[in-house]
Amino acid sequence: MIHVDLGEEINRRGMWRWRVTRYGLEGKSKRPLQDACRALRRAGINPNATVGLFRGRLDPEGRPSPDTVCLVGEGVPNENKGET
C-alpha cells in the first residue's frame, strides 16, 4: 500500500500538508488523498495501486492504520471537459 502521510493543518483553514515519501511527492490540499492520487497518476503509478491516508493512528497490533483507502485511479475523479 502507498502511504499518504497527512501533516499539519495550515493556518486552521482546512488546508493540509501531505507527503508520499516513497515517491518524493508532497503538497498542500483541502482534499489530500485525491490530490496525492493525481500526483501519483502524473508520476506514472499504476491506477490499480492501493493508497491509504495515514494520520498516525495505530491498529491493535501497533501498526500504522489508514483513515481511508482507495485505488490511485479511484482517487482521481473523471474530468470531462465541456460538461458542467
- By three-state DSSP, how is residue 4 classified? strand
Query: What is the tens place of the pLDDT at every residue in 1-44?
Result: 999 999 999 988 889 999 999 999 999 999 999 999 999 999 99
C-alpha cell at 44: 506514472
- In terms of phi and psi (left: phi > 0; alpha: psi -120 to 50; beta: otherwise), the region of 26 is beta
Residues 49, 55: Cα–Cα separation, whole Å: 20
Which is higher by pLDDT, 2 or 59?
2
Strand partners, 10: 15
Residues 51, 68: Cα–Cα separation, whole Å: 9
- Which amino acid is it at 35? D
User: The pTM is what?
Assistant: 0.83
